[in-house]
Structure 1
Amino acid sequence: MTAQTERFPGWDWDDPDDLATRLDGFSAQVATCDTLEARPGGLPRDHADFRELGLTGIEFAAFRTAHPEGLGTDLTALRGPGAGTGSGGGTDPGAVTEPGAVTEPGTLYRVDGDRWFTQLDISEPLPFADASVDWVYAEHLIEHVTMPVAVGWLREARRVLRPGGVLRVTTPDLARYLAGYATGDGFLAKHRRRLTTLGFGPPMPDRPAFLVNQIFRYYGHQWIYDLDELRHVLALAGFAPEQIRHCAYRQGVRPDVADLDTAFRTDETVYVEADR
């Protein structure tokens, strides 16, 4: 028995349904924080509410956004260890932390004393007023929902953006995968090595067809995009073609938002922005 087999007992890359259950468990394990404080008064509703909290934008699929002026959101509940009732060392003396606290939709939370989080389902309308924020960011989220849900969410993102605001979306690039498969340029092998280094299960099979299929069948993915497909859904959501642009890693109209791009995904990612 190899060390990898011992670390991931029963792991079978050829069984996507079984691995989906394992990955759900993995997501729950990483959705934790040191302190979690519920803020009385509910969610920010409009631009004034966001600014009062020091917030300028929203990062989706982020338990703890790296942007100091961002509201992090995710469908999965975030769990904190809790520390009794009271301020818990947070910035709001009215905040409440309970042992074993778990986030619930409709509540705003302070995470580790320096970031804001709320639990949201992007298949539902966003609970914010029109023109509430200056930016919206989502890294590797859109591929996890069906196209109708994606269009509805993008439409909502456009609605809550203020005039002149920017939406930045990143996602695995189908064109990169298919080019790697068709040309044998080494992309698929490099991508496999990257995931192995990250410790995301035992080493994947090195079969090219598997390495293309995994981007469709694993991680809860529903639809894989290239640049043209992203332009298509953004247009359906109301963004004009001239408002949509292809960007590079950490290059964009707002450097503070573009800097949210994470380095370990650059090999497979397409970056797109759209202006309100």
Structure 2
Amino acid sequence: MTEPTSSPNDRFPGWDWDDPEGLETRLDAFSAQVATCKTLEARPGALPHDHHDFRELGLTGIEFAAFRTAHPEGLGTDLATLRSTAAETETETGPGLATEPGTLYRVDGDRWFTQLDVSHPLPFADASVDWVYAEHLIEHVTLPVAVGWLREARRILRPGGVLRLTTPDLARYLVGYATGDGFLGRHRRRLGTLGFGPPMPARPAFLVNQIFRYYGHQWIYDLDELRHVLTLAGFAPDRIRHCAYRQGLRSDVADLDTAFRTDETVYVEADR
């Protein structure tokens, strides 16, 4: 007798892709699972403040929305709490050591991390870092918060320093929708590899809507919209450049681009 074959939906009972609000808790829980590391070690004292402090720690720049930056001279930051899976003690936030704002942590023995909220002023001095990088962060905050954060990023950059932004490209979605060039179908299959739900609906309108309605997204950009917010933040228009994947002023910073997101991403740099 043939055993019944289970469908992907059987593993996610009650999952309804057509109900963004109803899935918000599930998607938040999935994101929390990613916010872990093996070991966390709190460093006594204050966060690095000025250029001298950063250099004493071997740091040259900051990667936002990164629990464990790939840059060996980068400070990783994120709004979410990072938790150690190896710690044996219990804390108020649950098992293991958990990060708190205002503290610097050593992650897995070889990277630095601190918990920051980009809607607040950055706790660093003017001209304190050589680069700032943020992959798929800016779409998660409102437009006024984005402009305020970019203004702060410009403030902490040293002369000649570079800011590199990547974000989902609204133009890519709309061209895919209007022309039926296959982008939306390929993107749907890519998202399916994340494993946080059953396959998304294949309807083109849904696949455009999900970029606005899921993952906590607040504002979706194309190249012109990125130029707009960067200009409002004080960057000179002639210092803002459209870049390609892993191509930019600093190869060490551009190499932070992840291959997983190239299908949907627009890459932009602005220098001080």
Q: TM-score, normalised on structure 1?
A: 0.93
Q: 1:261 maps to what in 2?
A: 257
Task: Please give the per-residue CA displacement for 1:28-77, whole angstroms capped at 9, x wherever unaligned.
Answer: 11111110000001200000000000000000000000000000000000
Please provide the CA RMSD for this pair.
Answer: 1.4
**Stretch of structure 1 that moved more, 2-11 or 146-155:** 2-11
Amino acid at match of 2:29: G
SS at match of 2:225: helix
The equivalent of 1:143 in structure 2 is 139
2:240 to 226, 238, 244: 244
CA distance in 2, matches of 1:35, 1:14: 38
The structural deviation recorded for 1:84 is 6.5
Per-residue deviation, 1:243? 0.5
Provide structure 2 residue ranges, at least 5 long, that are not aligned to the other structure: 90-94
Aligned to 1:166: 162
User: Matches of residues 7-18 of structure 1 in structure 2 within 5 Å?
Assistant: 7-18=11-22
Q: How many residues align?
A: 264
Aligned AA (2:13) = P
In percent, how many aligned pairs have the same letter?
86
CA distance in 2, matches of 1:136, 1:147: 19
> Matched residues in 1 for 2:6 and 2:85: separation?
35
2:78 to 71, 74, 80: 74
Following the alignment from structure 2 to structure 1, what is the Cα–Cα distance between the partners of residues 17 and 6? 16
Counterparts of 2:159 and 2:197 in 1: how far apart (Å)?
44
- d(CA) in 2 for partners of 1:6, 1:209: 25
Measure, in 2, the Cα distance between the counterparts of 1:227 and 1:12. Answer: 32
The equivalent residue for 1:231 is 227
3-state SS of 1:134 partner: strand
Q: Return structure 1 stretches of 4+ with deviation > 3 angstroms.
A: 81-85
CA contact (8 A) 2:30 2:196 kept: no
Report the equivalent of 1:52. Answer: 56
CA distance in 2, matches of 1:49, 1:82: 29
Q: Does 1:207 align with 2:207?
A: no
Distance (Å, rounded) in 1 between the aligned partners of 2:35 and 2:71:
18
Rounded Cα–Cα distance in structure 1 between residues aligned with 2:128 and 2:118: 17
Question: Match of 2:92?
Answer: none
Measure, in 2, the Cα distance between the counterparts of 1:70 and 1:117. Answer: 9
